[in-house]
Amino acid sequence: MDILLEMLEKDARLTPEQIAIMTQKDEGDIKAAIDSYESRGVILGYKALVNWDKTEREYISAIIELKVTPQRDRGFEKIAEKIYNYPEVKSLYLMSGAYDFQVILEGKTLREVAQFVASKLAPIDGVISTATHFVLKKYKDNGCVFKVPEKDERINSI
């Protein structure tokens, strides 16, 4: 049920009942499909998209480009595993092109992130080099533009 995934990807707060009504399916079937997606790891979680810039919380994110030497037998997997197990690592991608891994890190301060790169990422076996880019401002993330929702300006009309 691709439509179910599309709907939840757009609005994870839709209830199985609402989805059932909107797709004219049985609510039980929707629940079962969601359970199955969750158990097979198709649906991995449901989260709020937070703009931390609008809160008091100290927060910085950075994109780190890593060049590595793939290990014999296990290629990139072993190195990837070492990286993604750190909770500070928000995303990890294996990339085509000039470098191998893109790591998205989140920390409280610039120093904390720099420290993490120097003491945790750089020393991993097989890592040849790192390049750290700090995020200055987020405009859009996961399809959402970071701005206050606009007031409905549509006039009442018939």
Partner 1 sequence: MTDYSKKLSKTAQSISPSGIRKFFDILDDMDDVTSLTVGQPDFATPWHIREAAIDALSAGKTYYTSNAGLTPLREEISKYVKRRFSLDYGKDEIITTVGGSEAIDLAMRALIDPGDEVIIPVPSFVCYGPIARLAGGVPVYVDLDEKDGFTLTPEKLERAITPKTKLLVLPFPNNPTGSVMRLPELEKIADIIEKKDIFVLSDEIYAELTYKGRHVSIASLDGMRERTIIASGFSKAYAMTGWRLGYTLAPREISVQMLKIHQYAIMCAPTASQYAGIEALCAGDEDIEYMKAEYDRRRLYIVNCLRSAGFECYEPLGAFYVFPNISKYGLDSESFCSRLLYENKVAIVPGTAFGSCGEGFARISYAYSVKHISSAVEKLADFANKIKNERKL
Which residues contact partner 1 by CB under 8 A? 7, 11, 14, 18, 21-24, 152, 154-158
Nearer to partner 1, 56 or 152 (CB): 152
Nearer to partner 1, 24 or 85 (CB): 24
Nearer to partner 1, 142 or 156 (CB): 156
Tokens read off for 23 = 């797709």
Location of structure tokens 């599309």:
6
Spatial contact of 124 and 83, defined as CB atoms under 8 Å apart: yes
How near is the Cβ of 42 to partner 1 at its closest, in Å? Answer: 21
Distance in angstroms (rounded) separating the CA atoms of residues 112 and 115: 5
* Surface-to-core class of residue 101, CB atoms within 10 Å of its CB (0-12 exposed, 13-18 middle, 19+ buried): buried
How near is the Cβ of 108 to partner 1 at its closest, in Å? Answer: 33
Q: Which phi and psi angles does 41 have, rounded to 5°?
A: 75, 20
Nearer to partner 1, 56 or 150 (CB): 150
Distance in angstroms (rounded) separating the CA atoms of residues 61 and 53: 11
How near is the Cβ of 38 to partner 1 at its closest, in Å? Answer: 22
How near is the Cβ of 156 to partner 1 at its closest, in Å? Answer: 4
Nearer to partner 1, 147 or 154 (CB): 154
How near is the Cβ of 145 to partner 1 at its closest, in Å? Answer: 11
Helix (H, G, I), strand (E, B) or coil at 96: coil
